[in-house]
Amino acid sequence: MTTHITVACLDMAGTTVADDGSVLAAFSAAVEQFGLGRGTPGHDEALAYVRLTMGQSKIEVFRHILGAEDAAQQANRAFEEHYARSVRAGDVTPLPGAAETFAALRAAGIKVCLATGFSPATRDALLDALGWRPLIDLALSPADAGRGRPYPDLPLTALLRLGGGAVSELAVAGDTPSDVESGLRAGAGLVAGVLTGASSREELEQAKAPVILDSIADILPLVTAGR
């Protein structure tokens, strides 16, 4: 179905990681200090924007919601602290089949990058809590690539750093329209929406996802056939 894939750039929260609402809870806690507490019109509006932009750089989302750079930085720090507490409490767990998918991809000669809108510090804390560092080849945040989703920087950086060839050798998978748009803009050989996270099938179809998967494990036959 696809060309020869050498690099798989996979999203974290909602695609390979189940967080049981921890991301939204952390956003909610972060904006409360700016007069956007629960029950206020501004809170509902802010959370609606967060849901719309799931998968994108967290600091960019706060910049849009709060306007001022100092406020955005403060909110982002509060978000990271709240999410880190969820990680330590064990509220963030692997989605079924994620680790096995990493192993199968690498066994087939495909290098695995996990990409996220989290900061490097939050991303690394999550990887350590899950014990995933030995299972992957690379992890990227927007700070590592230049821009976050929906720009193509994350998957293209993964391809460059992992020694991939043409963009047709790149597979991108994630649970949000931003993931899909990022992969399409990168020109990836395979772009897949995944139904285990924030977005419905209809939302992923509206984002023009060429392939929609029930889980990340379903990517394997698409990229390993004939190997």
The pLDDT averaged over each successive group of 10 residues in the chain (227 residues) is: 84 90 87 84 86 85 92 92 88 94 97 94 92 97 93 97 93 96 97 94 97 98 80
Alpha helices in the chain (DSSP H): 22-32, 41-52, 58-66, 69-88, 98-107, 120-130, 142-145, 153-161, 177-186, 201-206, 220-224
pLDDT at residue 181, as a whole number: 97
For residue 158, what are its two tokens?
């993964």
pLDDT at residue 217, as a whole number: 97
* Domain end (from 65, 88, 111): 88
How many domains is the chain built from? 2
Contact (Cβ atoms closer than 8 angstroms) between residue 96 and residue 215: yes
pLDDT at residue 210, as a whole number: 97
Question: Quick check: is 219 in a domain?
Answer: yes
Residue 203 sits in a domain whose CATH number is 3.40.50.1000
pLDDT at residue 2, as a whole number: 53
* Domain end (from 71, 88, 105): 88
How far apart (Å, rounded) are the C-alpha atoms in residues 123 and 51? Answer: 19
Closest CA to 4 of 227, 219, 155: 227
Same domain, 72 and 145: no
Place of tokens 């990022």: 182
How far apart (Å, rounded) are the C-alpha atoms in residues 75 and 31? Answer: 6
How far apart (Å, rounded) are the C-alpha atoms in residues 39 and 91? Answer: 25
pLDDT at residue 53, as a whole number: 86
Range of the domain at 39: 22-88
Same domain, 74 and 133: no
* Domain end (from 68, 88, 108): 88
Tell me, yes or no, if the pTM score tops 0.75: yes
Question: Quick check: is 2 in a domain?
Answer: no
Same domain, 70 and 50: yes
How far apart (Å, rounded) are the C-alpha atoms in residues 70 and 90? Answer: 31
Question: Quick check: is 1 in a domain?
Answer: no
